[in-house]
Structure 1
Amino acid sequence: MTATPRIALPGLMIGAVSALFAGGLALIGGMPASWAAVTAVALGLPLAAFGTGCSALREHGVLRGGTFAPVALYWMIAFPAARLVQDVGTRLILDERLDWPPHPLAFLAYQALISVGFAIGFVWVHERL
């Protein structure tokens, strides 16, 4: 199952916009530009990959259009995974240490809660393009 550019566009846009927000928030929070850039790439790439996967699943009928729950369940797994990649990757690149976030289960549970809002945005973008 491969994604054509038309199918992949919503997922790629989600990754790009998320990267811009993550990098911008890191800068506003007082982080150095290098930290903001790593944060943006470390979050943008997995979200673009998961977004493209979600778009492909919707296009092939696995996740039906017009329904929210299946997409929300997808993102309830994919968003915490993307955030975990970002957190661990950022620590690895900038601090040169491979480490989990403090309280990893609480971290993943919180990201799963946030994922519902992310799924709403994804469905909105996907149905507008």
Structure 2
Amino acid sequence: MNFITVTLEGNQIVADGLRLTVPEGTLKVLREKGYDGKKLIFGIRPEDINTEPAFLETFPDSVVHATISVSELLGSESHLYCQVGDSEFIARVDARDYSETGEGIDLGFDLNKAHFFDFETEKTVY
């Protein structure tokens, strides 16, 4: 699982170079628990980060432009080690979406599958 320290600002989670819109249901829970304007740990699995054009077009507020640090071709899939600002994460994508180290790539985060943890206690929030 990828873990990124973020701050909830309005309806978005924000980190250096990363700004993603949180789904309404998740946002409601985070606000009810008092996390508006506070730090959280955002967790997302590599397989929940997409390169599919249909996903990128459907959810433009969940897309970031990343730089690939390492690209690992593993048969039918690729692991892309990516960087956005200070945030590093791994995306598991179809081998057809293989990209070279140093290239830029648009990645869509499926925030309906995201996990959120308290920054201080690391306990599950959502």
Under a length normalisation based on structure 2, what TM-score does the superposition of the two structures give? Answer: 0.26
Which structure features the higher share of strand residues? 2
Q: Which has the higher helix share?
A: 1
